[in-house]
Amino acid sequence: MKRIAIGLLGVIACGLGIWQAARIGVARTLAQYALVANDRDAAARAVRILPSDAETHATRGLILQHTENYSEAIRELERAVQLRPRDYFPWMILGVTRDLNGDPNGAINALRQSIALAPSYAKAHWQLGNLWLRLGQTDEAFRELRFASSSDATFLPNVIDLAWGVSRNDSARTVAAIQPQTDPARIALALFFAQHKQGSAALDQFHALKSLSGERVHDLVHELLTAKLFPEAYEVWARLHNTTRSTPLLLNGSFEDEVDVGQSGFGWKIPAEPSNTTISIDPSQFQSGAKSLRIDFHGNSKPTDALASQVAIVKAETRYQLTLYSQSKDFISAAAPVISVIDAADEKNIMARSASLVSDSNGWRAISIDLTSGKETKAIIIRLSRQECASDPCAAFGTLWVDSFALSEQRAK
């Protein structure tokens, strides 16, 4: 009989265990469904099934918070932290909900408890930092926000944006709030300043980098060019390419160095897929060096599309001369190829334009263009395209070569 009793007790205990496990499973499944569907009734049923479970109370509290029933949400979340006081997550949600309910002191206490339980978790620091910021406690706010962004880099752009707003668009105060200690933080700031046309501040962060590797560093050139901060963009590009200030105003004028199709930055920019046009480096024809740029025209294309272009840094109110050589073969079109010099800050401002690059004579033909930069001009675009045409697209056939580009500053007379 004793053995039977013991066996019966074991069966009962096993059954109770299975029943309890089933209750927990059903309640947790209901809670998960309630969270996904934002279903208050399902959350309430989960709590009724498992009233001593912190997870179901926390889930119901979160759903009540979403529906702006903050007082009842707080009761559920306070029950959750009573049942599971060592879990940082319900403490954090409780803090956020108390804040939404107009109880900043209670929110601060709950968020601090969450941070004490999980000090490396970024989200609680982010929430507390934002709360301090709304309360006007800037130093405390950015202490928490800096920690959040150092633990989770996805917060960094938002922290920079907050610092920019609080500082009223002051770059120095923004840097002081962020206190960048790593290269990712510095390049994030540099990109932000470039996007907001703060060239000097962007360069300060760039020069503070310990390493110049990484795609985002190269993105800085693009952002500075987009913001039309041309001297700053060139300074970054030159350092990335180990180029010195003594480099000629116009780079790779004889096409001896490699030209990367579709590249951005400085040096020659060649379109990746020009319509009915083939652009290549030709080692069989050259005016100087051992190569030239060859353009073969095969039919209809937009005449004003750039076939090759380069940004060059210049001084304001200064005279320059652009020289080059061209030759053509069997070229036929109503729109001849030309070189235009354009103010990089305003591409509608064509400062100078060459005559047609097509010549009836054989051999290379010298071309020169004189121009004077404007009062605000910091960079120019040298662009090879075709003249405007009565029809668009406009057909062109034949071959053009260009070589030996040079840009020189002219002495005042």
- At residue 42, the pLDDT reads 65
Neighbours of 33 (CB within 10 A): 15
Q: Are 298 and 277 in contact (CB under 8 A)?
A: yes
Taking the model in full, what pTM does it have? 0.84
Neighbours of 355 (CB within 10 A): 12
- Between strands 308-313 and 365-372, the pairing is unpaired
pLDDT tens series, the chain, 413 aa? 555 544 444 434 444 344 344 445 545 665 565 566 566 666 667 666 667 677 888 888 888 888 899 999 999 999 999 999 999 999 999 999 999 999 999 999 999 999 999 999 999 999 999 999 999 999 999 999 999 999 999 999 999 999 999 999 999 999 999 999 999 999 999 999 999 999 999 999 999 999 998 888 999 999 999 999 999 999 999 999 888 766 678 999 999 999 988 777 899 999 989 999 999 999 999 999 999 999 999 999 999 999 999 999 999 999 999 999 999 999 999 999 999 999 999 999 999 999 999 987 789 999 999 999 999 999 999 999 999 998 888 999 999 999 999 999 998 76
Token reading at 137: 């406690």
- At residue 5, the pLDDT reads 44
For the chain, how far is it from start to end, CA to CA, in angstroms? 124
Structural domains of the chain sorted by starting position, each given as residue range(s) with its CATH number in brackets? 180-247 (no CATH), 277-409 (2.60.120.260)
- At residue 241, the pLDDT reads 87
Look up tokens 């006007």; give the residue. 136
- Residue 385, classed as helix, strand or coil, is strand
Residues 93 and 161: their CA atoms lie apart, in Å, by 24
Q: What share of the chain is helix, strand, coil (3-state, %, to 5)?
A: 45, 20, 35
Token reading at 202: 């962007």
